[in-house]
Amino acid sequence: MKIILLGAPNSGKGTLSANLNKALGFIGVSTGDLLRKEIASGSELGKHISSLTSAGKLVETETVITLMQNYINSLPKDANLMFDGFPRSVEQAKMLENIADIDAVLFLDVDEKTIMERALGRITCPKCGQIYNRAWYKLDTCEKCGEKLVVRSDDNEESVKNRIVVYKNSTYPLIDYYTSAGLLERIDAGKDAQNTLEQALKILKCIEAKQ
């Protein structure tokens, strides 16, 4: 099964991705990870990608699609895959269809007030990248590696509002596109992570039963 996770920043995509990996063995297809891996390989393509990112430029969609296709081809054909952070436009969605048959698009629906509260309460481990929230995590150090937690410089009200605007401009057309294609599944992600996971598992179970 191949799925796409859609949702605003702080909607819980990262947590759901990790939980689906544990529950059903879903493998995340992260554009960021693929680009970093290619850069680290020292290949000509990696050097090209590095030159773009160093200059603050976006990597061409064609390059990202090529890296994704190579990665997908390296996995078992029956692997459960989830795309998070891609596609970001209808154009990219159409290009993705050339390399993967998408079974469902899970849209994590969260109101702006909740997004703001989550963002402003977020604390991050600068060493391992683990993310916590003051609403439920009361310690000052990471439970995984013991590093002192910090607040990201862009986790302020103005930055969060800007991220929401960018998200709306890029994601809303995708919501319409995948709704028209009959693939969009809406999840109420305004509650806790377990509730979000249970909704996702119910949706995926129904889809699997129809295949």
Give residue-wise pLDDT tens across range 55-76.
Answer: 878 889 999 999 999 999 999 9
Distances (CA, A) of 138 to 72, 109, 143: 40, 27, 11
pTM of the predicted structure, to 2 decimals = 0.82
Pick the CATH number of 2-26+80-210 from 3.40.50.300, 3.10.105.10, 3.20.20.80, 3.40.50.2300: 3.40.50.300
Segments making up each domain of the chain, as ranges: 2-26+80-210
Distances (CA, A) of 15 to 61, 77, 197: 26, 25, 9
* Residue positions counted in the chain: 211
pLDDT tens for 170-200 read 889 999 999 999 999 999 999 989 999 999 9
Encoded tokens for 53:
């990112």
Show contacts of 66-73: CB within 8 Å, 24+ apart. 67/31, 67/34, 67/35, 67/38, 68/29, 68/31, 68/34, 68/96, 68/99, 68/100, 69/99, 71/29, 71/34, 72/29, 72/99, 72/100
Residues 155-178, mean pLDDT to the nearest whole number: 88
Sign of the dihedral through C-alpha 8, 9, 11, 12: positive
DSSP string, 4-46: EEEE-TTSSHHHHHHHHHHHH-PEEEEHHHHHHHHHHHT-HHH
Judge whether residue 211 has pLDDT over 80: no
Average pLDDT, the chain: 91
Sign of the dihedral through C-alpha 106, 162, 93, 95: negative
Encoded tokens for 4:
């796409």
Percent of the chain with pLDDT strictly greater than 70: 100
Question: In what order do the strands lie in the sheet containing 184-188?
Answer: 27-30, 81-84, 2-7, 104-109, 184-188
Helix (H), strand (E), coil (C) string for 162-177: HHHHHHHHHHHHHHHH
